[in-house]
Amino acid sequence: MLFSLTHFLWRLYRHLSNMFSSERLTVPDCVSRLQRGKSGSTGSEIRAVSPGISADVQAVLNSSLPALRCAIVRLRTGKETSDSDETRQAIAEIYQLVEEAWVMPTVGRQVAEEICSRIRLEGGLELLLQLQQTPAVEITYESAKLLEQILISDNRDYLARMGLGVILNLTRQQEDAQLARSVSGILEHMFKHTEETSIHLISNGALDALLYWCRGTDPTVLRHCAVALANCAMYGGHRCQRWMIEKQAAEWLFPLAFSKEDELIRFHACLAVTVLAANREIEKEVVKSGTLELVEPFIASLDPDDFARSLLDSADCMQGKTASDLQHLLPLLDGTRVEGKCIAAFYLCVETSIKSRQRNTKIFQEIGAVQSLKRIAMYSSNGTASGLAKRALSSMGEEVPKRILPCVPNWKTCEVQTWLQQVGFTAFCDRFQELQVDGDLLLNITDQELSTDLGMTASITRKRFLRDLRVLKTYANYSTCDPNNMADWLAEVDPHFRQYTYGLIQSGVNRNIIRNVTDQQLQNDCLINNGVHRAKILLYSHGPLKPCLTDSQPAGPDVFISYRRNTGSQLASLLKVHLQVRGFSVFIDVEKLEAGKFQDKLIQSVQRARNFILVLSANALDKCMTDTAMTDWVHKEIVTALANKKNIVPVIDNFMWPDPMSLPEDMRAILNFNGVKWSHEYQEATIEKILRFLKRQQDQTDSKDASKGQKNRE
């Protein structure tokens, strides 16, 4: 009785709150379909539902399934008779049933999945695919929107087998903004189906469509694109990740991750680029895109509980992720990049908040996330990652381990005892204490010594211990005994090779003599038993030496982009990507930090840049008007560019030119430069105009150098 009352009140709230939403399909009457099913308006028999359904779920389904079957019959009739009104009414009724199921508390996922499954079994999914090919565009839009909402696992299977070609045909209509809202959502679901499906989608242009839509401004489309790209990176496998890099997806993720409009867009863009960076084969290309550096500051700025509450307002996200989905985060938690640890730990914090409401926090232990989080809490020196890991563990009801002091070579026996207790080897504490095992001895301990001296007779126990010891060696700080920083050199070969640092140091190996070390010495003296690892170290040691940049600065960027953060950040990020994919090196300040070395770095970047693009968005120069002390960053950047005679290219977007006398005298000359008016609808043409300005300046520079050379020869 209590459940029925709660269910009724929830449905009433959802109905009233959605009546005025422009996003909803039009439903022909105001009667809830679930309530109408209870009134017995249809004489259809209620079919048996899936086994294992709880009584609460069954009670909801008893009222919803007859209404659903009635709507599917109307949908079929409307299609067969070409009655567009009947068809649209039926689509709207099914849509309302699905939407209301997804947002139900506690049992929403079970109810929604059963309803979505019924739509397929009753032939509704087949009908929706057929309606995608109708000449009536409104029916295409509405059926596509419904299709997006029902793509549970089994329905994705059906679509992959029977209807993928239909969806791919829709992706070719890239200019249809309304259709893009649903098709991008369908791709979001299908990119998490299988690797084979992702490969087929990319091979037939689906990824190209997503990247094209990334340059738009519709928040719904951008959100779908961000999630779709994250799913492609997480579920598509290495082949799809390589294709993403070849099609410059890492670069096009920058505007999404840089956006200030929607945290969900930014989060999934950051997730996508972090997953790509976890693939060592393409890591360098991902880092080069510049998108990865946005991840940690963004994650550090978020509160997991607030983010979880925002998900609860979305029918697509309020039920959280399945165990299978969450398992894909473990490689990020256990990987070597701090961005991966930060975003995965944050994601688990958010999911813990959602799963706590569902009383299902045991899922994290089942997928193996707890041990990974404890490892980060113990070892990570990154405050964001370790703080989020501790918060997630606390919310799960798990014991939060203490932070391990990183300077392991200097450990006393008491620190070793603490570490043993936290990694689960309390039974051996007395023996370690009796033999006075300190940090130095711990780092040098061997399998034989564990067995003969420390009483670990079980080989599996020793393997567990040595595995935890390798993790400790990898995270340890060797700065007190590593003056040549061999730890970072080994990390360049492979991040996991930091575990060999102490052996190399104790053997007297440094960066100067590593080239002369033999395989036998690495094995016998440095205790590196893995032959493949030795081969990699030797190969890297004989490679070309990296150039030293202490005597000369590296070449400056081709382009420096100056922008007003509150009105020009989106255009600035788009300009960065458009230029970057055309081979330009671009500097864009992402945080506008105010003092210290960051200020010096910013000014130096302007001085060293070949071209200076000034984004003149709405009110871009307003703060400069009263900036007599030159504290405003845009003012500083403009003055520096003028003083250094940079090739200045203003890009104008909704900008009103001010009275020259209203600006400080040191920057008034900026108003004399010819600008390029930005057109969002015709981005490629606008970029071509900008390129003509940039290339003309480069040609002039080359021409001057040639003239000087000619004079010298004369």
392 neighbors 349 (Cβ within 8 angstroms): yes
670 neighbors 638 (Cβ within 8 angstroms): yes
Q: For residues 574 and 216, give the distance between their C-alpha atoms in angstroms, rounded to a whole number.
A: 10
Length of the chain: 714
Q: Residue holding tokens 């004369």?
A: 714
The runs of H, that is alpha helices, within 584-682 are 597-608, 633-643
| CB environment 154-190: b (16+ within 10 A), e (fewer) | ebbeebbeebbebbbebbeebeeeebbbbbbbbbbbb
Q: Positive or negative CA dihedral for 406, 410, 416, 418?
A: negative
| CB environment 559-571: b (16+ within 10 A), e (fewer) | bbbbbbeebbbbb
β pairing state of 611-616 and 586-588: unpaired
DSSP states of 560-608 = EEE--HHHHHHHHHHHHHHHHTTT--EEE-SS---STHHHHHHHHHHHH
The runs of H, that is alpha helices, within 313-366 are 323-327, 330-333, 338-357, 362-366
What's the N-to-C CA distance of the chain in angstroms? 101
676 by DSSP, 3-state: which?
A: strand
Instruction: Please state, as a whole number, how many other Cβ atoms lie within 10 Å of the Cβ of residue 74.
Output: 18
Q: What's the DSSP call for residue 546?
A: P
What number of H helices and E strands is found in the chain? 38, 5
- Side chain identity at residue 129, one-letter code: L
- Side chain identity at residue 18, one-letter code: N
E-assigned strand segments in 176-217: none
379 neighbors 372 (Cβ within 8 angstroms): no
Q: For residues 320 and 308, give the distance between their C-alpha atoms in angstroms, rounded to a whole number.
A: 9
536 CB-near residues (< 8 Å, 6+ apart): 493, 494, 497
392 CB-near residues (< 8 Å, 6+ apart): 304, 345, 348, 349, 352, 364, 373
Q: For residues 427 and 648, give the distance between their C-alpha atoms in angstroms, rounded to a whole number.
A: 70
255 neighbors 215 (Cβ within 8 angstroms): yes
254 CB-near residues (< 8 Å, 6+ apart): 289, 290, 291, 294, 573, 576, 577
419 neighbors 441 (Cβ within 8 angstroms): no
Q: For residues 181 and 188, give the distance between their C-alpha atoms in angstroms, rounded to a whole number.
A: 11
Q: For residues 333 and 209, give the distance between their C-alpha atoms in angstroms, rounded to a whole number.
A: 31
What are 586's strand-pairing partners? 559
251 neighbors 291 (Cβ within 8 angstroms): yes
323 neighbors 275 (Cβ within 8 angstroms): no
Tokens linked to 452: 């003969």
Q: For residues 447 and 300, give the distance between their C-alpha atoms in angstroms, rounded to a whole number.
A: 41
Chain-centroid distance, C-alpha 554: 30
Question: Any idea which residues carry the catalytic annotation?
Answer: 637
Q: Positive or negative CA dihedral for 644, 650, 651, 652?
A: positive
694 CB-near residues (< 8 Å, 6+ apart): 558, 559, 584, 611, 647, 649
Tokens linked to 431: 């023996």
